[in-house]
Chains A and B, each alone.
Chain A
Amino acid sequence: DTGVSQNPRHKITKRGQNVTFRCDPISEHNRLYWYRQTLGQGPEFLTYFQNEAQLEKSRLLSDRFSAERPKGSFSTLEIQRTEQGDSAMYLCASSPGDSLYQPQHFGDGTRLSIL
């Protein structure tokens, strides 16, 4: 169990640029979640994958955001035309597929800063 891995750890970019984050879940975890955390708040749900299928998206996920999990293993989250309000910590979590009540294991996140 090598844990959930997220890359990069930090991303600094100018407003209007596109950014892409990667998440490698724990091996054989079918469920993969993306969350966003801003200062002083708890993580907020963005989207959920079961294997390669994206089954749920939050209203927080505007059309500038897109996520994929092409082979049911790693996942990517892309933000197009970044805005100041996109500055946040983006967290990925995974859990086994047998029960939705299994605790989710989180990566250390990607901190996005928009200049």
Chain B
Amino acid sequence: DQQVKQNSPSLSVQEGRISILNCDYTNSMFDYFLWYKKYPAEGPTFLISISSIKDKNEDGRFTVFLNKSAKHLSLHIVPSQPGDSAVYFCAAIQSNAGGTSYGKLTFGQGTILTVHP
């Protein structure tokens, strides 16, 4: 079962405009969420994260929004740049209640972002 879903396989935007990448999850035990960016032939690189006690976290051009009741999060990139073209993965970590979580990441399938000059 896919506990983290990114339903848009790809997204194409114009340079300077906003990119919005979406992610849904089903496991209510997830309490920490991360976005990673991946270029071809490289490993994923951490972008930004958010704890379940917050609904927004901002870092420069990147903002992540979390809607716990809807089990939905989104990554906004403003303004988008051609160098942002990559695969973006949403990932989640399960709560350590009971001491059984070791921080493993559960990933979505990824969204390919293409930013056109």
Q: Do A and B bind each other?
A: yes
Cα–Cα distance between A31 and B34 once the two chains are bound (Å): 17
A43/B102 in contact, CB under 8 A: no
Cα–Cα distance between A33 and B93 once the two chains are bound (Å): 13
A45/B34 in contact, CB under 8 A: no
Q: Indicate whether A91 reaches chain B with its CB closer than 8 angstroms.
A: yes
Give the interface segment out of B37-45, B69-77, B78-86.
Answer: B37-45
B107/A42 in contact, CB under 8 A: yes
Q: Indicate whether B63 reaches chain A with its CB closer than 8 angstroms.
A: no
In the complex, per-residue mask of B73-117: 1 if CB is within 8 Å of any chain A CB, else 0: 000000000000000010101001000011111111110000000
Which residues in A have some Cβ–Cβ distance to B below 8 Å? Answer: 4, 31, 33, 35, 40-45, 48, 50, 55-56, 91, 93, 95, 100-109
Would you give the shortest CB distance from A38 to chain B, in whole angstroms? 11
Cα–Cα distance between A92 and B50 once the two chains are bound (Å): 23
Q: Indicate whether B65 reaches chain A with its CB closer than 8 angstroms.
A: no
Q: Indicate whether B49 reaches chain A with its CB closer than 8 angstroms.
A: yes
B46/A41 in contact, CB under 8 A: no
Which residues on B sit within 8 Å (CB–CB) of A108? 41-43
Would you give the shortest CB distance from A104 to chain B, in whole angstroms? 6
Given known pairs A40-B109, A41-B109, A42-B110, the reply for A101 and B43 (CB within 8 Å) is: no
